[in-house]
Amino acid sequence: MNTFKKLKQFYWPHKKYFFWSLFFLFFVTAITVVYPIVLQLTIDNVVMDDRYNLIPYISIVFVLLMIVKGFSTFFHQYLGEFFGITTVYMLRNALYNKLQVLSFKYYDNAKTGDIMSRLTQDVEGFRFFLSFGFSELIRIALLIGFSLGVMFYYSIPLALVTMAAMPFLAVVVFQFDKRVHPAFRSVRKSLGRLNTRIQENVSGMNTVKSLSREDFEIGRFSSSNDNYRKNYIFTSEIWARYFPLMEFIGNVCAVSLIAYGGYLVINGSLALGELVAFFSLVWYIMGPLMNLGFVVNQFSQAKASGERLLEILEAKEDIVEKENAIDNPIKGHVTFNNVTLTYIENDDSALKDISFDAPPGKVIGLIGATGAGKTSITQLITRFYEPEKGEVLVDGNRVSDYKLKTLRNSIGFVLQEPFLFSTTIRENISYGNPDVSDEQVIDAAKRAQAHDFIMEMPKGYDTLLGERGMGLSGGQKQRIAIARAICINPSILVLDDATSAVDMQTEFKIQKALKEVMKGRTSFIIAHRISSLKHADEILVLEEGEIAERGTHDQLVKNNGVYQRIYNIQYQDREEIMSTVN
């Protein structure tokens, strides 16, 4: 029950619905046990004594009991469902909120499909046990208790014979739970992996088709699907082993009851109606005990689901905001002092002893090979990661001293692969600043060279985009992302290869517009094209996480270093080829 104790904060505040559900369950169960009593009275007092005049009265009482049971069943089920649904509403919100505050380090190791599986199937599995499993367990206890009470009233010896089978059933149920829980945990894990495989395949369908890897993907999916199938079959095998054994124990008890009960009826120690009622009551005990296996199954599934949900809720928050965090407006003065960053413990550092100073209005260019550490620098400014050594300062304060919202609202990001939401173009541009006016949205789009192509679309700024901006070219997506960054009026602007997907002419137009936008702002431009960095106040050339060179474009071209080699590849070699062609 440790899992349920840890999740108590979500269901205990709504306990009144659960207890009211149990209140009505009491009436439902008590009336259920009345059936055999009515049957016994009908046989012994009506049929055996020829008192058929009692039938109308018994019928009226029976109908009234059915009405009470019907209303009680409705309220029991409705309140039980309300309890479960309200609980998982709070739980799902908590999970989603937790996912928003977890750092990039968590998502570096997480799988999207697995997270989706936890927020859907696992949450639903936990809800089902809250709505039905708990109450079913109590229903079984009440039904067995009421039935045994009536049975002991009729015949103590026969009741003891019935109880003799209960310890055997209890042992079987315990062994069943011991084996089925790890089996269901494996099922949940394999389902998460299967969902991850589907999600990755659908998201990367363009890559799959362009490289003709459909057969390979079918094979990978088939392997994950087969793993899920085998785990589920193994779980079904456990069911198939234990449930016949439970039923066998119940049938042995029923045969013993008929044999010994018949002997008591012949000797006059037990009435015929009481034996018939006894036979009905024994299934009110054996049936629920065998059904206990299904409840244990639900419990095991809920426990496995709860454990997977707790893995998210209890995940370490690497980026924690201080209690008295700074909430002052940010001017944008960025300083790195001997900063070292390592993503994975005992692995090579992504950044090594990085130092530079970028006062407001300064443009810093970052260039280097893939994996050199360009993006890592900007992710430290926004505090997506914490440095292993050194300090990152903004306006003279450590970034860890600021409120996260204050810090990140002051930084405009345009990523190399822009993400657009499945909503209108207007809402995508104003996403970071929902209160912005339509005029400001249009102005931002014009500065990003996006206004013209937006106006050519069927509904202009109200055009609804598909998933991830489906229907737009790569360059159009990036220009909308640039407009979104401009719209929040940031103190610090980060362009992470923001013009990589546009043609040279459009890049020139965007850079011309961005020069106006970057005035008075600290700007970081990550680029592979030297043309995007030529106007930077300082260019940092990164190599294997270290600053290999630094300076202006004119200074670096003369250094005969890494930057000059990149320049020669992009410019001089091209000019030589063009002169040869001419």
Could you read off the pLDDT of 381-413 as tens digits, one per residue?
988 888 989 999 999 999 999 998 888 888 888
Phi-psi region at 117: left, alpha or beta (left = phi > 0; alpha = psi -120 to 50): alpha
Q: Chain centroid to CA 201: how far?
A: 19
166 within 8 A of 288, measured Cβ to Cβ: no
Query: Residue 96 class from Cβ within 10 Å (0-12 exposed, 13-18 middle, 19+ buried)?
Result: exposed
Average pLDDT over residues 472-483: 81
Q: Which pLDDT band, with edges at 50, 70 and 90, does 56 fall under?
A: confident
Higher local confidence (pLDDT), 278 or 12: 12
pLDDT of amino acid 317: 79
Average pLDDT over residues 538-561: 89
| For residue 517, pLDDT beyond 80 | no
Question: For strand 492-496 and strand 351-358, is the pairing parallel, antiparallel, or unpaired?
Answer: unpaired
pLDDT of amino acid 242: 77
Q: How many CB atoms lie within 10 A of CB 268?
A: 7
Mean per-residue pLDDT over the chain, rounded: 82
Q: What is the torsional sign of CA 556, 562, 568, 570?
A: negative
Higher local confidence (pLDDT), 504 or 262: 262
pLDDT of amino acid 444: 87
Half-sphere exposure of 401 (CA within 13 A, CB side): 11
Name the H helices within 155-271.
156-163, 166-203, 205-210, 214-266
* Among the listed residues 187, 198, 199, 200, the one whose alpha carbon sits nearest the alpha carbon of residue 227: 187
Crossing angle of helices 156-163 and 214-266, in 10° steps, is 160
Q: Which pLDDT band, with edges at 50, 70 and 90, does 513 fall under?
A: low
pLDDT of amino acid 390: 92
Using a pLDDT cut of 70, give the percent of the chain over it.
91
| For residue 174, pLDDT beyond 80 | no
Q: Which pLDDT band, with edges at 50, 70 and 90, does 339 fall under?
A: very high
d(CA 155, CA 264): 9
Question: For strand 351-358 and strand 334-341, is the pairing parallel, antiparallel, or unpaired?
Answer: antiparallel
pLDDT of amino acid 398: 92
Q: Which two tokens stand for residue 40?
A: 């016994």
Average pLDDT over residues 80-106: 86
pLDDT of amino acid 516: 64
d(CA 195, CA 229): 14
Q: Which pLDDT band, with edges at 50, 70 and 90, does 366 fall under?
A: very high
| For residue 573, pLDDT beyond 60 | no
248 within 8 A of 234, measured Cβ to Cβ: no
| Residue type for position 579 | S
Q: How many CB atoms lie within 10 A of CB 345?
A: 6
| For residue 577, pLDDT beyond 50 | no
pLDDT of amino acid 153: 85
- Give 342-362 pLDDT, tens digit per residue: 887 767 788 999 999 999 889
d(CA 275, CA 272): 5
Question: For strand 538-543 and strand 363-368, is the pairing parallel, antiparallel, or unpaired?
Answer: parallel
Distances from the Cα of 51 to the Cαs of 34, 65, 115, 275, in angstroms? Answer: 20, 22, 67, 20
Q: Which helix or strand (DSSP H or E) is residue 355 part of?
A: strand 351-358
DSSP string, 494-526: EEESTTTTS-HHHHHHHHHHHHHHTTTSEEEEE
| For residue 578, pLDDT beyond 60 | no
Top-ranked range on mean pLDDT: pick from 107-121, 355-369, 498-512? 355-369
| For residue 376, pLDDT beyond 70 | yes
Residue with tokens 């206004």: 451
- Give 197-254 pLDDT, tens digit per residue: 777 777 666 667 665 677 887 888 888 888 888 888 888 888 788 778 877 877 777 7
* Among the listed residues 422, 395, 104, 150, the one whose alpha carbon sits nearest the alpha carbon of residue 284: 150
Q: How many CB atoms lie within 10 A of CB 441?
A: 24
Q: Which pLDDT band, with edges at 50, 70 and 90, does 499 fall under?
A: low
* Among the listed residues 255, 250, 238, 252, the one whose alpha carbon sits nearest the alpha carbon of residue 290: 250
Q: Which pLDDT band, with edges at 50, 70 and 90, does 340 fall under?
A: very high
Q: How many CB atoms lie within 10 A of CB 394?
A: 27
Q: Which pLDDT band, with edges at 50, 70 and 90, does 267 fall under?
A: confident
Q: Domains of the chain, with CATH numbers?
A: 2-313 (1.20.1560.10), 326-410+528-582 (3.40.50.300)
pLDDT of amino acid 501: 59
* Among the listed residues 168, 216, 224, 217, the one whose alpha carbon sits nearest the alpha carbon of residue 194: 224
Half-sphere exposure of 560 (CA within 13 A, CB side): 0
Three-point CA angle 375, 377, 379, nearest 5°: 70
